[in-house]
Amino acid sequence: MFKKLKEYDVSNKRVFLRLDLNVPVKEGKIKDDSRITAALPTIRYLLERNARVVAASHLGRPKNGPAPEFSLAPVAKRLAELLPGTDVVFAGDVVGDDAFSKASALKEGELLLLENLRFETGETKGDEELAAKIRKFGDVYVTDAFGAVHRAHASVFQAPKLFDVVLAGFLIEKEIQYLKENLEKPERPYFALLGGAKVSDKIPILKSLVEKVDGIAIAGGMAYTFLYARGEKVGRSILETEMVGTATAIMKRAAERGIPFLLPVDHVIASSMEDPVPTESAKIDDNSSAFDIGPKTIALFAAEIKKAKTIVWNGPMGVFEKEQFRKGTVEIAKAVADTGAVKIVGGGDSVSAIKVAGVENRITHISTGGGASLELIAGDKLPGVEILYEKGQ
């Protein structure tokens, strides 16, 4: 098992805190601070116990060391606003003189935010020397950087190896609880709902889920590669011809296992995404694309959803960003929300879709990680999670 934040007395300790504060920043302005607010419970918990906290995160993908557009300075400013009464200090480097002098001057209940971890090129390379320097910032390693646990980066994987005490923050605790512990022994029937744009993005999760679940429904853009593989006409719908073999193999596995494998049986089609008069149709003509699932498909999927005790959902059912093509996603979101099952939703657009449908309060767990969520749901071993288990023994 892994050790949770509350299972160790962090009072007055020097803590290195790995966070995911990778927010969108444009011209020094933060466009969406939800990753910062999501980290607050763990930060507050530590500060309330008078820990001296050295926090660190990556932001964007700087390639060759420091680059001002990837600075965490705006994040430090926002953190200070969100933590009134707390001294938030910002370091101009990661493991340089400024960081270490500010870290040693840190008082109890104060927070130091380091500059972007990826300004050190050793971070993404999993450099041991960088990890050894990070070790000097504290006696306790706490992580809440769920969005980064699938990377064997220095601050995620090599650094925690060097600490005696390694703890999972509140965000990661929940993510592991639902995406790993819960899905390793799911209450059955276990049903997967997959959508989104492309099959190619979702191959690992598809291959893994087809072995584990008791039923799958596929919609969204990727459904059309499956329908095409079955010999159906898909018109100008999004189609990945190079994925037809993969799609066929996945459907074959589902058939061998004898599990329901549902695809759309009707669609909302239009000649282009801008078309103001979309039509419902069981067939897709040569000049149309399917941008949403139709009413029969909604009913078909909803009937299966009703029976489930565990539901995993990734990927919208249609082009939900456009009002004309939103109904499928919204209706399915409601059907999922209405069940008493354990309901887990992951994926950036899927989370937005759940909010558009207004059911976010009725979903058991909404995962915050993109790639990390999908990999954990697929049952992959993630470096940043494995190390928590190793250290938690």
Sign of the torsion angle spanned by Cα atoms 143, 147, 151, 155 = negative
Q: Which residue, 54 or 359, has its beta carbon nearer to ligand ADP?
A: 359
3-state secondary structure of 321: coil
Q: How far is the CB of 30 from ligand ADP (least distance, A)?
A: 21
Contact pattern for ligand ADP over residues 227 through 246, marking x by CB under 6 A: -----------x--------
Q: Which of 126, 264, 347, 384 binds ligand ADP (CB under 6 A)?
A: 347
Contact pattern for ligand ADP over residues 176 through 205, marking x by CB under 6 A: -------------------xxx---x----
Interacting residues with ligand ADP between 291 and 310 (CB under 6 A) = 291
Q: Which does 344 bind (CB under 5 to 8 A by kind): ligand ADP, Mg ion, none?
A: none
Q: Which residue, 160 or 347, has its beta carbon nearer to Mg ion?
A: 347
Q: How far is the CB of 65 from Mg ion (least distance, A)?
A: 29
Q: Which does 329 bind (CB under 5 to 8 A by kind): Mg ion, ligand ADP, none?
A: none
Q: Is residue 321 a contact residue for ligand ADP (CB under 6 A)?
A: yes
Look up residue 247 and give its amino acid.
A
CA atoms of 293 and 248, how far apart (whole Å) = 21
Q: How far is the CB of 186 from ligand ADP (least distance, A)?
A: 20
Count residues near Mg ion (CB under 5 A): 2
Asked whether 112 and 55 are in contact (CB, 8 A), the reply is yes
HSE on the CB side for 222, CA within 13 Å?
25
Q: How far is the CB of 315 from Mg ion (least distance, A)?
A: 8
Count residues near ligand ADP (CB under 6 A): 19
Q: Which does 318 bind (CB under 5 to 8 A by kind): Mg ion, ligand ADP, none?
A: ligand ADP
**324 class by beta-carbon count within 10 Å (0-12 exposed, 13-18 middle, 19+ buried):** middle
Q: Is residue 348 a contact residue for Mg ion (CB under 5 A)?
A: yes
Interacting residues with Mg ion between 47 and 86 (CB under 5 A) = none
CA 8 to chain centre: 27
Q: How far is the CB of 197 from ligand ADP (least distance, A)?
A: 4
Q: Which of 350, 357, 359, 391 binds ligand ADP (CB under 6 A)?
A: 350
Rg over alpha carbons for the chain, rounded to the nearest Å, is 23
Q: Which residue, 122 or 315, has its beta carbon nearer to ligand ADP?
A: 315
Q: Which of 111, 349, 363, 383 binds Mg ion (CB under 5 A)?
A: 349
Torsion of CA 311, 316, 318, 321, to 10 degrees: 140
Asked whether 35 and 147 are in contact (CB, 8 A), the reply is yes
Q: Is residue 315 a contact residue for ligand ADP (CB under 6 A)?
A: yes
Q: Which residue, 348 or 379, has its beta carbon nearer to ligand ADP?
A: 348
Torsion of CA 312, 314, 319, 321, to 10 degrees: 100
Helix H, strand E, coil C: the string for 212-254 is HCCEEEECCCCHHHHHHHCCCCCCCCCCCHHHHHHHHHHHHHH
Q: How far is the CB of 373 from ligand ADP (least distance, A)?
A: 9
Any idea which residues carry the catalytic annotation? 35, 198, 348, 371
CA atoms of 299 and 331, how far apart (whole Å) = 9
Question: Helix 295-307 crosses helix 327-338 at what angle (to 10 degrees)?
Answer: 20
Nearest alpha-carbon partner for 218 in 198, 195, 247: 195
Q: Which does 122 bind (CB under 5 to 8 A by kind): Mg ion, ligand ADP, none?
A: none
- Per DSSP, helices labelled H in 277-382 are 295-307, 327-338, 348-357, 371-377
Q: Which of 71, 155, 314, 368 binds ligand ADP (CB under 6 A)?
A: 314
CA atoms of 141 and 168, how far apart (whole Å) = 9
Q: How far is the CB of 203 from ligand ADP (least distance, A)?
A: 12
Q: Which does 260 bind (CB under 5 to 8 A by kind): ligand ADP, Mg ion, none?
A: none
Q: Is residue 109 a contact residue for Mg ion (CB under 5 A)?
A: no
Binding site for ligand ADP (CB under 6 A): 195-197, 201, 220-221, 238, 290-291, 314-316, 318-319, 321, 347-350
